[in-house]
Amino acid sequence: MGTPGFLAIGSGPAGVSAAETFRARHPKIPVRILSADPALPYAKPPLNKEYLGGGHANLELHTAGWFRRHDIELRLGVTVEHIDVEAQEVVTAGGARFPYWHLVLAPGSAAVPLGVPGGDTAQPLRSFADAVALKMAARYASTAVVIGGGLIGCETAGRLAALGVDTALVLPEAAPLQRRFGMEVGLRVARMLADVGVRVVCGTAVDAVDEVGVTLASGEKVDGDVVVAATGVRPDIRLAADAGLTTRHGRVVVDEHMRTSARNIYAAGDVTIAYNSAAGRPVVAEHWRDAAQQGLVAGLTAAGHSAAWDKVPGFTCAIGTFTLNYRGWGSGFDDFTLTEKAGGFTVTYRGRGRVVGTLEARSNPAS
């Protein structure tokens, strides 16, 4: 049970940032994080980049000693099953109840299952445990199939190929990242991957996964000692919906201060659709820095300080020997201008005559 205070559900960037921000403002009030993940809070972006590639990967967000010194109680491997809004308590899978004055809901997203025969045997890549399993499997693999042409699929395929694994990337779209960045950039991303040895198989679905690889809709078999499911994620709104919080488009609705529709409950990170005061409308951002930023705003609001989410969302990713840097509202575009630069290109996306995003691609041949 314990004394009520500040409580965060989730030990990703949103939950940790909220807890440490609140602690910095209120040294005496109990601060607690409950997380289903058994690992000490870690950085996810390096998992399928430096960590998978075998280079130096700085994964640790804070040491166990840091949490102790800052008097933040970290309960790992604990799944919250229910929020009792009336009693201001959360209930765990084991039936333990934790009271709160302020609750930050930051459960992130869950992987979209690969709904084909054998799909459950494909390796997901959402957590440190998944990354360890993939890294070990890659060590003994000569072939790999990565299913899904989004950011995680493209990055992972490029890293596996760089490790010397004969890798295919299979996707239903006409080009990788096409839905996000358009066809012209998609074709360039396909080339970035081909240049590091990835065989990019576009416009086809996977019909089945078995112990030797995958079967495509065309009937073609693609060998994979390792098969990775990078088939997308879905915000995990189960707790919020069960507690009666307002949700829209499968996300928890929060204002610019990260307040949900329930008293003393805030939400931050991948799970939200949040009002952004610079955009003047609700925005979805499923990126590391934005989750940490929303956590900071939630922590400040809970601590009684004035704070609003007003940053332009964005992310950096690494595909083959390229680094891609995107800043923008990520809500589609009407047209774009692509400009060639030494060692890369930039793209300016416009919607309704205004700039809605910029993408910069830069080659780092040493990577």
Ligand X SMILES: Cc1cc2nc3c(=O)[nH]c(=O)nc-3n(C[C@H](O)[C@H](O)[C@H](O)COP(=O)(O)OP(=O)(O)OC[C@H]3O[C@@H](n4cnc5c(N)ncnc54)[C@H](O)[C@@H]3O)c2cc1C
Binding site for ligand X (CB under 6 A): 9-15, 34-37, 44-45, 47-48, 79-80, 106-109, 125-126, 152, 236, 239, 269-270, 286-289, 291, 315, 317
Indicate the residue among 149 and 216 with the shorter CB distance to ligand X. 149
**Distance of closest approach, residue 275 Cβ to ligand X, in angstroms:** 17
Indicate the residue among 45 and 328 with the shorter CB distance to ligand X. 45
Task: Report CA dihedral (82, 85, 87, 88) to the nearest 10 degrees.
Answer: 90
Query: How many whole angstroms separate alpha carbon 154 and alpha carbon 257?
Result: 34
**Distance of closest approach, residue 203 Cβ to ligand X, in angstroms:** 25
Indicate the residue among 204 and 358 with the shorter CB distance to ligand X. 358
User: Contact, 311 vs 295, CB < 8 A?
Assistant: no
Indicate the residue among 102 and 215 with the shorter CB distance to ligand X. 102
Indicate the residue among 273 and 317 with the shorter CB distance to ligand X. 317
**Distance of closest approach, residue 268 Cβ to ligand X, in angstroms:** 7
User: Contact, 32 vs 101, CB < 8 A?
Assistant: no
Query: How many whole angstroms separate alpha carbon 230 and alpha carbon 150?
Result: 7
User: Contact, 148 vs 229, CB < 8 A?
Assistant: yes
**Distance of closest approach, residue 117 Cβ to ligand X, in angstroms:** 25
Indicate the residue among 10 and 357 with the shorter CB distance to ligand X. 10
**Distance of closest approach, residue 242 Cβ to ligand X, in angstroms:** 10
Helix%, strand%, coil% for the chain, nearest 5: 25, 35, 40
Query: How many whole angstroms separate alpha carbon 25 and alpha carbon 29?
Result: 9
Query: How many whole angstroms separate alpha carbon 47 and alpha carbon 58?
Result: 10
> Distance between alpha carbon 50 and the CA centroid of its chain, in Å?
16
**Distance of closest approach, residue 41 Cβ to ligand X, in angstroms:** 7
